[in-house]
Amino acid sequence: MSGPVVVGVNGSQSGMASVEAAAHEAERSGVELRLAYAYEWPTAQVSPGVPPWDRSGAGACRVVKGALTEAERWAVGAAPQLRVTHEVLMGSPVAVLESASREASLLVVGGRPPGGAGSLRRGSVAGQLAAHGRTPMLVVRGRPDPAGPVVLVGGHAQEVREAVEFAYAEAAARDTDLVVLERTTAWHGRSHDAFAEALSVQSGKHPDVTTHRARARGGLSRALVGASTRAQLIVVGTRGRGRRTGALPSPVGMVALHRADCPVAVIHSAER
């Protein structure tokens, strides 16, 4: 990694978990942490004669400054030596984060609790960035096991070299094992061959990372959810981005985003 880690800040207490996770990622990678705040002018109806916004900007400034100050406090508390910067951009959270992350090495956003009505949706910030983003994205969710492995999901038709590279780098930085989760049925083709080659290359580059190949009994999606309860991180790849149409990860990748009980990294292919 060379670019900064960018994390979205919204002032909520739940969002501070994302800031803390982003701080740890930036510290492990030796890069700057950038706090990005998206500001949208309110559009709600107001009574006649009442200004539709704070004309002096004092109220908005207090809100933004307070959110960024609290976020920086959390970041420095997690990684005291970390360099932290911030920027405030006008626009929707999706547009702001996509713009702010273009030169970033990692984008960090908050996710929803596993299951239930609060699960990740296509229309959510994380869902839209998973569909249209270009930067590796970490969705902070669940209860990661600090002693668990990094789990790379294979055998779901969207293996990408970048996902393998990211998974090995994370396992090395976290000083933990890598589990490659694959389906039990045989699968072949160019995707399989490229995936196997990438595993071989990265295993050679990271000899200190112990790699385990695990077969997903009971189905890949079910095994993924089970593995997430004992993992630090789930890594999935995705292909086929586009600003107009977009493409969320494979069905297995979507299961990870909806139901995983630990953070999920979504890694886009560099192919255009």
| Angle, CA 15 vertex, CA 91 and CA 143 arms, to 5° | 140
Q: What's the confidence (pLDDT) of residue 266?
A: 92
CA dist 53 → 11, 41, 67, 204, 267 (Å) = 19, 7, 19, 58, 39
Closest listed residue to residue 227, CA positions, set 168, 177, 175: 177
Closest listed residue to residue 144, CA positions, set 77, 9, 234, 256: 234
Instruction: Print pLDDT tens along the chain (272 aa).
Output: 689 999 999 888 778 999 999 999 999 999 999 999 988 765 555 555 555 555 545 666 888 888 999 999 999 999 999 999 999 888 888 888 998 888 999 999 987 544 443 444 545 788 788 877 789 999 999 999 999 999 999 877 667 889 999 999 999 999 999 999 988 766 655 667 788 899 999 999 999 999 999 988 888 899 999 999 999 999 998 875 544 445 556 788 888 888 999 999 999 887 64
Question: Rounded CA gap, 31 and 3, in Å?
Answer: 7
**Region of residue 58 (left: phi > 0; alpha: psi -120 to 50; beta: else):** alpha
Which amino acid is residue 7, in one-letter code? V
Question: Rounded CA gap, 95 and 144, in Å?
Answer: 29
Contact 162, 267 (CB under 8 A): yes
Helices 15-29 and 58-78 cross at an angle (nearest 10°) of 50
Which amino acid is residue 131, in one-letter code? A
Query: Residue 245 contacts by C-beta under 8 Å, 6 or more apart in sequence?
Result: none
Radius of gyration of the chain (CA): 19
pTM of the model: 0.85
Q: What's the confidence (pLDDT) of residue 193?
A: 76
Query: Residue 253 contacts by C-beta under 8 Å, 6 or more apart in sequence?
Result: 153, 156, 158, 236, 237, 238, 266
Q: What's the confidence (pLDDT) of residue 206?
A: 97
Domains of the chain from N-terminus onward:
5-110 (3.40.50.620), 150-268 (3.40.50.620)
Question: Rounded CA gap, 269 and 252, in Å?
Answer: 16
Buried b / exposed e over 160-179, threshold 16 CB at 10 Å, is: bbbbbbbbbbbbbbbebebb
